[in-house]
Amino acid sequence: MALDPNTRLGPYEIVSLLGEGGMGEVYRARDTRLGRAVAIKVINKHLSGRFEREARAISALNHPNICTLYDVGPNYLVMELVEGETLAARVRHGSLPAAEVLRFALQIAEALEEAHTMAMVHRDLKPANVMITPAGRVKVLDFGLAKMLEESDPEDTKTVDGAVLGTFAYMAPEQLQGKPADPRSDIFAFGAVLYEMLSGQRAFATPVSREEPATLVGVPSDLARVARRCMHKDPADRYPRMEDVRAALERCATSSHGVAAAEPEPSIAVLPFANMSGDKENEYFSDGLAEEILNALTRVPGLKVTARTSAFAFRGEKQDIRKIGEALDVRTVLEGSVRKAGNRVRITAQLINVANGYRLWSERYDRELTDVFAIQDEISQAIVDTLKVHLVQPSSGGKAEGRPAAMGQQTNVDAYQAYLKGRYHYFKMNPEDGARAKTYVEEAIALDPNYAPAHVLLARCYTGMASSQMTPGLEFIALAKSAAHRALELNEIDPGAHAVLSGMAGQYEYNWKEALRECQIALTCGPISSEDRALCALSPLFFRRRFDEAMAVVQPAIAADPLAPLPRLALAIALHATGSNERAIEEARRVLELREDLWLPFAVLGTIYTTQGRTQEAIAMFEKAVQLFPWNAPFIGLLAGLYARAGDRARAQSVLAPLDASGREIFRALGYAPFYILCSDWDRAADAFEKGMEARHPFTAQLAAAPFFEEFRKTPRGRAMLVKMNLADIV
C-alpha cells in the first residue's frame, strides 16, 4: 500500500488498496462514525487543481447511476463503495447480449444526461469508469476530468504537462485537437463504449485514428445506428443532446426483438394554416394554431419536425407538395385552413404523403373558440396515430403529449389570443411591430398573470426595445430580467427565458460567467428554438471568442430550420471571426435570398467588407442597412466612417446630421463611436464608447468585439474599456 504517511484521513480507517491510476490511489476504508464501508480516493499532489474540480463536480450530482460523494478532505474524496466489476472487465471476454447492452447503455445515458443537465461534461467516459454491481446497476465513476461548461479557461483541455485530457481511445476528435469539450464529446465517447459492448472490440484501434470503425456484424441494426451516429467526426452530425440518445435507445428497447425497422425516420413539416376569415388581422390566430401543433409534435420522440421559420417560409405558396417536402427534407406535410367568425372557428387539416401527394388523413373541426386547446391536442394525436409513430417513450402510453412545452400551461382563450397576436407581431422583426407585440403581451398577462410564455415574450420585447430605440439599456435591464424570472417561477425549464437571461448577463451586465451558465441551461433544459440557439451562439460564446463552440451550437438550428435567417447569420458572424470570410459571405447572401427586408444580413456583409478593405461594397451594404433601420446609430456612424475613408467628408457629415439633431446623448455616442474608430481618432472614440458603457447599451459590447476594431482594442484606452467589460482577453 503506497499511502503517504502524512495523509490525514480523519475518521476513516484504511482497509485495503483497491486500485491505482494517474490521479491517485483508491482504497477501501471504514467510516468509524457511521460504521459503513466507503471508498477513498487520495489525489496525487500535482493534481490538486483537478482534485478541487472533481470534488465540485461530484458534489453537484445526485443520481442513482452516478457514484455518490460523501465527504471531502484536504487531498482526498470519500465516496460510495461500489461493489462489482468494471464494464472493461465485462467486455474483456467478448461482446455482450443485446438485451444487456441496452440495459447498461440506458443507465449510462441517464447518468450523462443528469450531468449535462447540471452543465457538466465528463470528458473521460470509458468502460473502466463504469461499474456494474452484482444487481446489474450501473455506476458511472471518476468525474475527475469533469468540466463545468461555464468555465472558460483555454488551458483547461490540457494536463499540467501539456497532454490532452481524457483517454485517447474514447476521445472525440475535437478533444484530440485540444479544443473545448461539450456534451457531444461525451456522446462520442458513449458511442465508442456502446460499440465496444456490441462488438467486444474497441471502435478505434490507435489513439489518433478517427477512421470509420469496422461495420458491426450480427448485432441489432438499430443499436448499430445509434452507435454510428454518436461517433460522427463532426459534432453537428451527432445526436445534439444525451436526452436524444436515451430516447433512441428506448425506441430500440420497444421495437420488435430490439431491432427497429430499417426505414427513414418519420418527419413532418407544419405549414402555416391559411386564414379564410376574410379579415387579415385574424392571420395571427391561424399562424398561432399551426405553430402550437408544430410545438406539440416536437415532443414526440423519433419524429423529426421542421422548425417554424423554415416551414412558414412557404406561406401562401402554391407549389407542389413534393417540392416543399424535398426542400424541407420531410416525408409528410400538414396543411390546413382556419375560418374564424365571432366565437366560432372552423379548422380543416390534412396530412399529405410527400412521395405521392396522397392524403393520409384529413378532418374538419367546427367548435367554439373555447375548445381551441382541445383541437390542437386532437389534431396532434391524430397525426401521431396516422403516422403510426411507435417510437414514443413508454411513459407516454403511445400518445403525443398534447400541450407543447413552450406553452407552459393552459390559459383562458382571451389571454391566449392576445399572446398569439403578440407573437405574430414580434416575429415581423421590426421596431413598430415590436411595440405592438409588447402591448398585446401585456394584455395577455393582465388576463392571466400566471401564463409563463407571455412573460418570456415580454422579456424579449424589452430586450428588443433596448437595442432598437437607442435609449439607455439600464431602463430595460430590470424590466426584462423581472419578466424572465417570473417566467421561470412558472416554468423553471423554459429555454427561452434562460436564453434571454444569458444575453442580459453578458451584453448588459458584462457578467460573462453567468451568461455562459444561462446559455448552457438554455441549451440543455428542453427543446430550444432555432432563434434561441442563435442567440446563445452570438452571446456569450462569440464575446468569449469561443467561435468553434458557437458554430457547433448553431449548426443543429440550421439543420432543423434551414430557412431561418438568424442561425445562418450567427454562423456567418462566427465564420468571419475565424477568418473564413468567403463562407461567411455565402451564408449571409443565402439569408438575403430569402429575406431582403431584414437589416441584419446587410450589416453582416458590410462588416465583412469593411474588414477586407472593400470600402465601396461596404458602403452599399450599410446604406441598405440604414435604409431599413434608420434609427440605428452605429449603422449611421459606420456608414459615415466609410464615406470618410473613401474621401467624401461632405457626405460623411450629411450622414451624421441625424445624430447631432436627435438631442439624445446616448444616440449620438453610439453613432460617433464607430465613426471615430474608422477615422482612427482613438481618444474621441473612447469618449463615445464610455458613454455607451455608462448607459449599458448592448451595442457597446457588440461594437467592442467587432473584428475591424482590432486596432482600437490595442490602444491603452481601448484595453481599459475592455477590462471594464470583462473582455480584456479578447485582444
pLDDT digits (tens, 9 = 90+) for 608-623: 999 999 999 999 999 9
Which is the CATH superfamily of the domain at 85-258? Transferase(Phosphotransferase) domain 1 (1.10.510.10)
* Pairing of the two strands 130-132 and 85-86: antiparallel
d(CA 669, CA 470): 10
* Pairing of the two strands 344-353 and 76-80: unpaired
Q: Compute the mean pLDDT over every residue in the chain, rounded to the nearest whole number.
A: 80
Identify the architecture of domain 12-80 in CATH. 2-Layer Sandwich (3.30)
Average pLDDT over residues 409-434: 79
The pLDDT value given to residue 730: 60
The cell 392571466 sits on which residue?
Answer: 448
Residue 642 exposed, middle or buried by CB count within 10 Å (0-12, 13-18, 19+) = buried
Peptide bond into 540 cis (omega under 30): yes
Comparing 9-18, 39-48, 105-114, the range with the smallest average pLDDT is: 39-48
The pLDDT value given to residue 579: 86
Does position 680 have pLDDT exceeding 90, yes or no? yes
The pLDDT value given to residue 651: 96
Question: Within a 10 A sphere around the Cβ of 85, how many other Cβ atoms?
Answer: 13
Average pLDDT over residues 101-118: 90
- Joined together, the cell numbers standing for residue 71 give 465527504
Comparing 1-10, 197-206, 321-330, 347-356, the range with the smallest average pLDDT is: 1-10
CA angle 516, 520, 523 (to 5 degrees): 140
Choose the most confident range, by mean pLDDT, from 69-78, 143-152, 235-244, 549-558: 235-244
- Name which residue leads in pLDDT, 143 or 198: 198
**Over the stretch 528-575, which tens digit does the pLDDT of each residue have?**
888 888 888 888 888 888 888 888 888 888 877 778 888 999 999 989
Amino acid at 540: P
**Over the stretch 492-521, which tens digit does the pLDDT of each residue have?**
888 899 999 998 898 888 898 899 889 888
d(CA 286, CA 277): 10
d(CA 636, CA 657): 9
Does position 387 have pLDDT exceeding 70, yes or no? no
- Name which residue leads in pLDDT, 683 or 53: 683
d(CA 541, CA 574): 9
- Those residues whose C-beta lies under 8 Å from the C-beta of residue 219, and which sit 6 or more positions away, are 95, 98, 198, 199
Amino acid at 635: F
Average pLDDT over residues 289-305: 78
The pLDDT value given to residue 21: 55
Average pLDDT over residues 577-598: 88
Categorize the per-residue pLDDT at 400 as very low, low, confident or very high, splitting at 50, 70 and 90: very low
Cβ atoms 223, 190 nearer than 8 A: no
The pLDDT value given to residue 403: 37
- Name which residue leads in pLDDT, 29 or 256: 29
d(CA 446, CA 704): 39
Cβ atoms 18, 28 nearer than 8 A: yes
First to last CA, the chain: 50
Does position 151 have pLDDT exceeding 80, yes or no? no
Phi, psi of 351 (to 5 degrees): -105, 125
Comparing 124-128, 409-413, 439-443, 698-702, the range with the smallest average pLDDT is: 409-413
The pLDDT value given to residue 707: 77
**Over the stretch 159-213, which tens digit does the pLDDT of each residue have?**
333 334 456 778 888 887 778 788 999 999 999 999 999 998 888 765 444 567 8
Comparing 317-321, 360-364, 475-479, 705-709, the range with the smallest average pLDDT is: 317-321
- Closest to 534 measured CA to CA, from 508, 517, 552, 518: 552
Does position 457 have pLDDT exceeding 90, yes or no? yes
- Joined together, the cell numbers standing for residue 173 give 476528435
Q: Could you state, in order of their start, the residue ranges of all structural domains in the chain?
A: 12-80, 85-258, 267-407, 599-731
CA angle 455, 460, 464 (to 5 degrees): 145
- Closest to 621 measured CA to CA, from 668, 588, 657: 588
Comparing 438-442, 470-474, 507-511, the range with the smallest average pLDDT is: 470-474
The pLDDT value given to residue 265: 63
Categorize the per-residue pLDDT at 399 as very low, low, confident or very high, splitting at 50, 70 and 90: very low
The pLDDT value given to residue 593: 83
Does position 442 have pLDDT exceeding 90, yes or no? yes
Catalytic residue among 4, 31, 71, 124: 124
- Name which residue leads in pLDDT, 408 or 20: 20
The domain defined by 267-407 carries CATH number 3.40.50.10070: yes
Percent of the chain predicted with pLDDT > 70: 83
The pLDDT value given to residue 177: 77
The cell 435609449 sits on which residue?
Answer: 471
d(CA 658, CA 643): 16
d(CA 665, CA 426): 28
d(CA 281, CA 279): 5
Cβ atoms 407, 444 nearer than 8 A: no
Does position 156 have pLDDT exceeding 70, yes or no? no
The pLDDT value given to residue 148: 43
Average pLDDT over residues 226-236: 89
Does position 143 have pLDDT exceeding 70, yes or no? no
Comparing 31-45, 505-519, 688-702, the range with the smallest average pLDDT is: 31-45
The cell 443485446 sits on which residue?
Answer: 98
- Joined together, the cell numbers standing for residue 512 give 460573462
- 124 is a catalytic site residue: yes
Categorize the per-residue pLDDT at 402 as very low, low, confident or very high, splitting at 50, 70 and 90: very low
Rounded-to-5 percentages of helix, strand, coil across the chain: 55, 10, 30
Comparing 36-50, 365-379, 427-441, 547-561, the range with the smallest average pLDDT is: 36-50
Question: Within a 10 A sphere around the Cβ of 572, how many other Cβ atoms?
Answer: 28
Does position 77 have pLDDT exceeding 70, yes or no? yes
Average pLDDT over residues 599-614: 93
The pLDDT value given to residue 208: 44
Does position 147 have pLDDT exceeding 60, yes or no? no
Categorize the per-residue pLDDT at 273 as very low, low, confident or very high, splitting at 50, 70 and 90: confident
pTM of the model: 0.56
Identify the architecture of domain 599-731 in CATH. Alpha Horseshoe (1.25)
The pLDDT value given to residue 1: 44
**Over the stretch 625-658, which tens digit does the pLDDT of each residue have?**
999 888 889 999 999 999 999 999 999 999 999 9
The cell 422579456 sits on which residue?
Answer: 459
**Over the stretch 51-68, which tens digit does the pLDDT of each residue have?**
555 566 566 677 888 888
Categorize the per-residue pLDDT at 69 as very low, low, confident or very high, splitting at 50, 70 and 90: confident
Same CATH topology for 85-258 and 267-407: the answer is no
Residue 425 exposed, middle or buried by CB count within 10 Å (0-12, 13-18, 19+) = buried
